[in-house]
Structure 1
Amino acid sequence: MPIKHVTSLLAGVILSATAHSATVYVSDIQFVAIREGQSNNTRAVERGLKSGTPLEVLERSDSHTKVRTPDGNEGWVADYFLSETAVTRDQVVTLQAQLANATESKINAQNELNDSQSKVQELMQTISTLEDDNASLQERLDESKAITEKAQTIVSQNDNIAYQLESLKTQTQVAQDTMLALQKSTDQKWFMLGAATLFGGFLIGILLPLTRRKKVNNSSWG
């Protein structure tokens, strides 16, 4: 075998081994067709591959690369349709989508932050109102306690006054009973004194004439 053929064979094996581990992408062209051969006159195996579609490298030649599509179709495509990295257009679209998502997320986060701040303000206002209500209720409670203490003092004083009134009533009743007893005793004394006076007058009325008669008799006898 000529040395030239051996060298070409080895180079083809090396290129084939390297190609099996590589991935290329459809370049910045909207649609690409995969064909059975390296000529544009051969039948298209798959059409309409969009830019950025990853293709598995199967074999390389001077100006074409044999690839396998994501659907499993195998064919040749010109190298100028391929890129070793994801195409710029797809990267830009991806970045624009990520930027749009980030912007939307930022807007949503800002809206949520605004809502949270509004809720915090409402809660602070509610807390302030509750504190005012609590202070008012505490003031009313203190007033109620003061009124209760006054009422208890008045009740205590009324109980003491009622006891004093009851005691005065008892003392008055005792005084009335004593006065009645004294009045009865005085009436009895006056009655006895009147009776004694009357009896004494009666005796004097009887004895006085007798005494006069005795004096007269004595005078006569003398």
Structure 2
Amino acid sequence: MRMLTRQKRGCRPFVFDIPLLLLLPLFFLPPAVSEALAETLYVQPSAEVPIRSGQGTDYKILAVVPDGLAVTVLEEADPWVRVRTQGGTEGWMLKRYLSAEPPLSDRMTALQTRNEKLEQEYDRIRLEMEALTTAYSQSQQELNACFADRDEVRSNYQALRTDTADVIAIRKNLDDTVRENQFIKQQLAEIEAEKKKLEKNTSLKWFLAGGLVLITGWVLGLISGKSRRRKSSLY
């Protein structure tokens, strides 16, 4: 074991045991720290248990505690323990009357309190579930409405596509009709030009025919005049 030696002038050397040095602060702990390290036990169901001023039945009874009372154990000297009651009385009592388990009444009270808290928690969860159920129902209705709107949009889209196809077909027919009209107009223009050309040629023919008739008449007139003159000369 390691030893620590301390030398004082004019004094005899002395030795400290290190483990003892480590335990020394425990003897100077403040009361609050000592109480924090103390154990709380409960008086077992039995007759009233006396708290005495010392370790023995011949010591003075300082108080009598009922069963179920919680006491703080300050010191143990088997079979006795030094305790402090909630009222501040300190003394010695037999350890066999103490138990780490709370009394049945306290446990029942704790269970009832816990049961009440669980019931409150159950009510809170039930209300939240009802609210969630209502919100879910509303969301489902809104979702169904969205589905209905989607189906309507799809139907309108299909109808629009059909109408668009019809419009395209009508536009194509209209374009074909316009082109056909233009072709007919062109044909009519050509026919009109041909007609005018024929009319012009016909007029020219009639003019030539008239001129030819006139010349023929003139020639016939000359021939007829000569014939008359010849006949008159013969007579």
TM-score norm. by structure 2 comes to: 0.66
Structure 1 segment 126-145 matched on structure 2, within 5 A: 126-145=142-161
SS of structure 2 residue aligned to 1:86: coil
Residues 1:58 and 2:82 are matched in the alignment: no
Q: Which runs of 5+ in 2 are unaligned?
A: 1-38, 46-50
Match of 2:202 in 1: 186
Tell me how far 1:69 sits from its aligned partner: 8.1
Tell me how far 1:88 sits from its aligned partner: 2.0
Tell me how far 1:23 sits from its aligned partner: 6.3
Supply the distance in 2 between the matched residues of 1:56 and 1:115 (Cα, whole angstroms). 54
Match of 1:14 in 2: none
Match of 2:8 in 1: none
Structure 1 residues 60 and 190, CA gap change in structure 2 (3 angstroms): same
Match of 2:42 in 1: 25
Match of 2:106 in 1: 90
Supply the distance in 1 between the matched residues of 2:188 and 2:71 (Cα, whole angstroms). 123
Structure 1 segment 165-204 matched on structure 2, within 5 A: 165-204=181-220
SS of structure 1 residue aligned to 2:192: helix
Structure 1 segment 109-128 matched on structure 2, within 5 A: 109-128=125-144
Q: Which runs of 5+ in 1 are unaligned?
A: 1-21, 29-33, 43-49
Supply the distance in 2 between the matched residues of 1:171 and 1:151 (Cα, whole angstroms). 30
Supply the distance in 2 between the matched residues of 1:153 and 1:213 (Cα, whole angstroms). 88
Structure 1 segment 4-19 matched on structure 2, within 5 A: none
TM-score norm. by structure 1 comes to: 0.70
Tell me how far 1:202 sits from its aligned partner: 1.6
Deviation string, structure 1 residues 56-99 (Cα, Å, up to 9, x no partner) = 651245xx6313789xx99425459x541212232122112211
The amino acid of 1:169's aligned partner reads K
The amino acid of 1:215's aligned partner reads K
Structure 1 residues 56 and 120, CA gap change in structure 2 (3 angstroms): farther
Between Structure 1 and Structure 2, which shows a larger proportion of helix residues? Answer: 1
- Tell me how many residue pairs correspond in the alignment: 184
Determine what percentage of the aligned residue pairs are the same residue. 18
Supply the distance in 2 between the matched residues of 1:186 and 1:54 (Cα, whole angstroms). 148
Tell me how far 1:134 sits from its aligned partner: 1.4
SS of structure 1 residue aligned to 2:205: helix
Paired residues of 1:67 and 1:76 also in contact (CA < 8 A): yes
Q: Which has the higher contact order (CA 8 A, sep 6+)?
A: 1
- C-alpha RMSD of the superposition: 3.4
Paired residues of 1:68 and 1:74 also in contact (CA < 8 A): yes
Structure 1 residues 57 and 94, CA gap change in structure 2 (3 angstroms): farther
Match of 1:11 in 2: none
Paired residues of 1:59 and 1:65 also in contact (CA < 8 A): yes
Find the partner of 2:117 among 88, 95, 101: 101
Supply the distance in 1 between the matched residues of 2:71 and 2:178 (Cα, whole angstroms). 108
SS of structure 2 residue aligned to 1:160: helix
Supply the distance in 1 between the matched residues of 2:43 and 2:218 (Cα, whole angstroms). 170
Supply the distance in 2 between the matched residues of 1:54 and 1:104 (Cα, whole angstroms). 34
